[in-house]
Chain A
């Protein structure tokens, strides 16, 4: 089945620094990847749709200059949180479009970001 690797699983950074999160599809080519964010007491919220070779499509209210998404290859998409703020502390998770239907776990394991 589809295997998605997300790294790092958790990270602590200082305010003002940048953090890069990687999402890799290990056994298939993914033209589309989704980035979500989880807030306490909320459901997952879509941040952006990452398309290989083109600019990401951001959801309303998500700052594209702050959350930089790069999908340079069919197996890797990265989310960079720039000039991190404590309010950016959250759980970020990627998901990969694996064709008509997935046959396994299409979510990354998630990244817990804490900005201090």
Chain B
């Protein structure tokens, strides 16, 4: 069965620091990739997604992610975080022929002002 690994479970940064959250998956075929964010007390929101094309995907709020097929990775980045980025971040993968997602465990990000 496929799996999704988010190696950073808790990340603490100061404002203006750069962010990179790792996401690796184990499926060998075509995949669709997602990053979601969940702010405290709110529901999940889509940050960005990759289906095909340019492997560097830009999302909302200054986030971007790069799909590196050879590394089975889809890491999330932001050059300069803000206090308002404090949230839980989830990576999700669906096989290309399916729409059933597998979620990573999530990464809790705390940004100190």
**Chain A residues within CB distance 8 Å of chain B:** 32, 34, 36, 38-44, 46, 49, 91, 93, 95, 97, 100-107, 110, 112
Contact = CB atoms under 8 A, between A and B. Distances in A.
A105 B100 CA distance: 17
B64 interface: no
A41 B43 contact: no
B7 to A, nearest CB: 15
Dominant SS among interface residues on chain B: strand
A17 B41 CA distance: 34
B108 A101 contact: yes
B89 to A, nearest CB: 11
Given A102-B88, A110-B101, 16 more contacts: A32-B41, A36-B44, A38-B94, A38-B100, A40-B99, A41-B32, A41-B51, A44-B34, A44-B46, A49-B43, A91-B99, A95-B43, A95-B44, A97-B41, A107-B103, A112-B100
Contacts of B94: 38
**Which among B34, B41, B49, B105 has the greatest number of chain A C-beta atoms within 10 A?**
B105
Given A34-B43, A44-B46, A105 B32 contact: no
Q: How large is the interface on B (under 10, 10 to 19, 20 to 34, 35 or more residues)?
A: 20 to 34
B36 interface: yes
A91 B101 contact: yes
Nearest to A32: B41
A61 to B, nearest CB: 15
Nearest to B41: A97
Contacts of B36: 43-44
A101 B49 contact: no
Contact of B34 (A39, A43, A106): A43
